[in-house]
Amino acid sequence: MSDTPVPIPPGEEFPPEQILVGRRAGWILTGFFVLLLAVPPLLDGVPERVRELWTALVGKGSSKPIAERLRVYDSGVASAAFTDAPRALTQQVLTQVLGKGNDRVIPGRDGWLFYRPELQALTGYGPVLPEPHSVSRDPALLDWQAPLEPIREFASQLKERGVALWLVPVPMKPTIYPEMITGSPAAGPVRHRDAAVFFQQLSGAGVKVLDLAPMLWAAKAQDAAEGPVYLKDDTHWTTRGLLKVSAMLAEAVRAQPWWVAPAAADGAWTISRVSSAPGHGDLVEKLGLRHPDAWALPRTEALQLVTPAAGRVYPDPASPLVVLGDSFVNMFDDPGLGFGREGGARTQAGLGWQLAAALGAAPDVHAVNGEGASGVRRWLAQRGESAVRAKKLVIWVIAERDLFLSRSVAKANRINWDHVTFAADPPAAAGAGEGGGISVVEAEVVELAEQADPKRANYENALYTVAWKVRKHLSGPAPAESFEVVHWHFKKRELQPTSRLEVGRVYRLKLEPWASHPELQPVNRAELGEAVPLWWAEAAEALVP
Amino acid sequence: MVFTSHIFIFYFLLVSLAAYYATPGPWRHVVFTLFSYVFYGWWNPWFVLLMGAGTVVDYYCGRIITAPGAGEGQRRFGLLFSIISNLLVLAFFKYAGWAVGTASSVGAFLGLPAFPVPEFIQRIVLPVGISFYVFQSLSYCIDLYRRHAPPAKSLGHFACFVSLYPHLVAGPIVRYSSIAGQLSGRIHTIEAFTMGLARFCLGFCKKIMLADPLGVLADAAFNAGPGSLGTAAAWFGVVAYAFQIYFDFSAYSDMAVGLGRMFGFRIVENFKSPYLAASLTEFWRRWHISLSTFLRDYLYIPLGGNRRGAARTYVNLMMVMVIGGLWHGAATTFLVWGAIHGLMLALERWRGRKPLYGPLPRPLRVALTFVVLLVTWVFFRADHFAMATGYLGVMFAGQGGENPAAILLTQQLFAWPNLLWMAGAALVVWGVPNSQQLLERLTVPKVVACLAGFVISLGLMFAQGYSPFLYFQF
């Protein structure tokens, strides 16, 4: 065939153009463009980025496929420090001038803020009529499990062990305060259309559902005198809302035939009123403003502090009552959620503490921020047969949005409804973190739990679990050959050195029993999902290969 | 990699430009090809093998077709091998799951024994942009067979044509004949580079300032559960989507054209203010022009075009648009989208190439055309056929909105910042010249304005995040 030029097909001709930019101006404008793009990464630290890219490409530090590793790398680049200042400044302008939120926060009226996934949960598909799924769109959605079956299964396993399950869905803020979005009063709480049917399905499965919405809605009538039941600039409830709920739960527990009021409860739990340290709610933090104080002044919350008398323990592992929960239980207890006291110690004003005061005895409490759907159930299931059979009732407090999110939004928000299976009693000499003292070992990283982006995570502190294999036991109680350790991922959204552990590399660890750190229990934790006892290690010293 | 991602903007773009211009002229297309493979492999490095294998197969099919002294049998063999291999790749990655799923549903409907869709088929991941580069690669062999294009001078040249990263994953669909000369020799001037830079920045602004914020509104409406969407909100949502997809896709094309200029290539234009069209026929002369000309030349005309009588012309139009619909995605929704377009084109043809609403003044015809397009966009956007019909029920039959939560969604959509954004978008769509017209006479103030918009858009990208281009999924 000849190599003669062929006419361009009709419709593909190039349009005429006129470039009236001289060479000098062209060079200046191009130079500006190049500098604009080159300077930020140079300030960011190119060698470090190149090293991270190499790690992502060769697979060190992760057992994930290369495509996933590259997405994690992308996410790291997107969170580079040089983006912080322009991001915050732009958001400040968007929020303050245009009243615009971001992908996580929707501004309402009179300074009220709403968490976008809550609106998505209220208005989207739900657990009864699920979101239709087209396999040609996102194959990964196939793996997502709807909540009904895992909850049924959990309740059934508890029932086999003689334990009742009460589910306490905490209504979403727009359910109780829709007028702060719409501007017009509503006749009643705004619920998801599946709510009534779904709660009936759960009741049919032997789960008692304590619906808080009518009670909190009724309490709104007194808002003018007593203040709202939800915080304006936070996802969670106020002390007032919390006390209403704890009183309702305590009354219901006291009505149980097996409940025996503790003797000499008077004075065992002292109540005092204090103010929280001034601060902004989690939704202000999620907005990421440059000057949050310019948008709304920091404020305090009246806290009801509960102090146990000597000899009283909180939480009480021997209590027949277990409270499982998420950040709603940790609110006013975990200082990482804001509204803590000066000093940063646990606040002792959360739901578990209020129940202890109201009942005269501490329940067994396990609440992890963001892990209300699966993590806390897994914790209970791993306690062992005897420990679970000693319980009478599990009160499971969970953000209602976790129950009603459609599968695509739930997946995007990392809400997973895992099946959990109750474990047998652990062997007496497990060599595990649940008991014993400090161990020092040299161990190799086997697997890392998936780590969230610290700048996008819902919480300012996060832990993650790492699977290890012992190479050399140096001192203290010997852990099992394969064991799991909880490490810091980020604190105050700053990545910690232990977040950069590499699979296959050997480190020296000083292991402490995980249970010996109650202050860390509420912190959001990415888990591997293995039913093994945990250790805790503050640091990991890399050994030269 | 996405043009509006941090990794592309702050690392890949400058590194690829620097490497390209640091390389001696004759080797630049090789460097460009390598960077294009890195760009594509960033989604999943394994897909690079697929694109590479397709490139080698089509290059050698082209050699078979154009071999000196090749007889008709040999030429036909080369063509068929290329067509079959390309269509098999598309069939496996894009259509297997849908075909098996549809067969299963139809079988169940007819009372035949049910068979589940095998797990591995459900989990096939669609390689990004496969429909674009497979079509381009395929068109090369067809053009060689028709003697409409010269053969590639080397495998390197052909690999550069297939993988050219500015337009690799979302078009415009470039034919070999329009780029063959540029592969051998390109003229690089600072003036042309500045033109490319301005066009790239303009596309970036469209994507970040308009497409992404409107996408949030469209997503809110289309993700609404039954009863949560009122009629007004449904209309608002689909208009937001119509604007989103135009700004998103045309922004990608602007960036592709701009990047091409920065590397010395001229890439064909893909849009000419499509929502100014007064009929569907006109719309397809303004929207995704490279696809419509591709379908015209490689499907409609070979089917007989309008040369075999009126009835056959209508059938051909219908077939071309249905296939065009399925080219976008393996789903019943895309099939219906294509069928509606085919039907409208046939109707307009039947009316003597005049719009159905011919007697009306042009602004009204433009408005009516836009409404018809909105209906088709519902099928294009909905994740499922049932969702599309439900959505249309809300739009036209007033169904929905009975859920008390619907008021929340309505208020969220009609918040004043969103109304402002929608008004701005409408102004750009109907009241402002398109990117090509804006920059056809490039001046320094225009470049400065594009750069200023780019800086503001970077801030928005940091604050609001970015989302992939809609057409990546095709």
Tell me the pLDDT tens digit for each residue of B417-455.
999 999 999 999 999 999 999 999 999 999 999 999 999
The residues of chain B scoring below 70 in pLDDT are 353-356, 466, 472-474
Same structural domain, B401 and B266: yes
Boundary-marking domain end, from B151, B186, B221 = B186
User: Does B337 fall in a domain?
Assistant: no
Same structural domain, B180 and B66: yes
Helices B310-328, B130-146: inter-axial angle, 10-degree rounding? 140
Q: Could you tell me the residue range of the domain that residue B374 belongs to?
A: 192-278+355-465
Same structural domain, B82 and B131: yes
B126 touches chain A (CB under 8 A): yes
Q: What angle do CA B180, B165, B13 make, to 5 degrees?
A: 125
Boundary-marking domain end, from B126, B158, B186 = B186
Return the pLDDT at B302. 92
Using a CB-CB distance cutoff of 8 angstroms, which residues of chain B are in contact with residue A135?
97-98, 101, 117, 122
Using a CB-CB distance cutoff of 8 angstroms, which residues of chain A are in contact with residue B150?
1-6
Same structural domain, B73 and B206: no
Using a CB-CB distance cutoff of 8 angstroms, which residues of chain A are in contact with residue B227?
193
User: Does B346 fall in a domain?
Assistant: no
Model ipTM value: 0.90
In chain B, whose CA is at the least distance from the CA of A105? B464
Using a CB-CB distance cutoff of 8 angstroms, which residues of chain A are in contact with residue B117?
135
Map out the domains of chain A with their CATH numbers.
141-182+191-412 (no CATH), 439-542 (2.40.50)
Using a CB-CB distance cutoff of 8 angstroms, which residues of chain B are in contact with residue A98?
417, 420
Same structural domain, B112 and B14: yes
User: Does B107 fall in a domain?
Assistant: yes
Same structural domain, B97 and B134: yes
CB contact under 8 A, B412 and A119: yes
Same structural domain, B121 and B171: yes
Return the pLDDT at A502. 83
B276 touches chain A (CB under 8 A): no
Distance from CA of A359 to the nearest CA of B (A): 37
Q: Measuring CA to CA, how many Å separate A99 from each of A107, B65, B409, B416, B436?
A: 7, 62, 17, 9, 33
User: Does B385 fall in a domain?
Assistant: yes
Q: Among B194, B335, B457, which would you mutate to test the A interface (most chain A Cβ atoms within 10 Å of its Cβ)? A: B194
Return the pLDDT at A7. 47
| Inter-chain Cβ pairs, chain A and chain B, closer than 8 A | 254
Chain A contacts in chain B segment 137-176 (CB below 8 A): 143-144, 147-151, 175
Distance from CA of A499 to the nearest CA of B (A): 22
User: Does B305 fall in a domain?
Assistant: no
In chain A, whose CA is at the least distance from the CA of B178? A8
Provide the domain count of chain B: 2
Same structural domain, B162 and B217: no
CB contact under 8 A, B123 and A142: yes
User: Does B328 fall in a domain?
Assistant: no
User: Does B308 fall in a domain?
Assistant: no
- The residues of B carrying an active-site annotation are 328
CB contact under 8 A, A30 and B193: yes
Return the pLDDT at B94. 87
Partner residue opposite A8 with nearest CB, options B177, B194, B227 = B177
CB contact under 8 A, B10 and A4: no
CB contact under 8 A, B404 and A191: yes
Same structural domain, B150 and B255: no
CB contact under 8 A, B268 and A191: no
The residues of chain A scoring below 70 in pLDDT are 1-13, 60-63, 133-139, 264-266, 343, 426-436, 529-533, 545
Spatial contact of A102 and B464, defined as CB atoms under 8 Å apart:
yes
Same structural domain, B47 and B64: yes
Return the pLDDT at A13. 66
Return the pLDDT at B113. 77
B330 touches chain A (CB under 8 A): yes
Using a CB-CB distance cutoff of 8 angstroms, which residues of chain B are in contact with residue A22?
191
Boundary-marking domain end, from B152, B186, B220 = B186
User: Does B317 fall in a domain?
Assistant: no
Q: Measuring CA to CA, how many Å separate B97 from each of A78, A136, A480, B116, B120?
A: 34, 7, 45, 11, 9
Same structural domain, B85 and B200: no
B452 touches chain A (CB under 8 A): no
Same structural domain, B35 and B99: yes
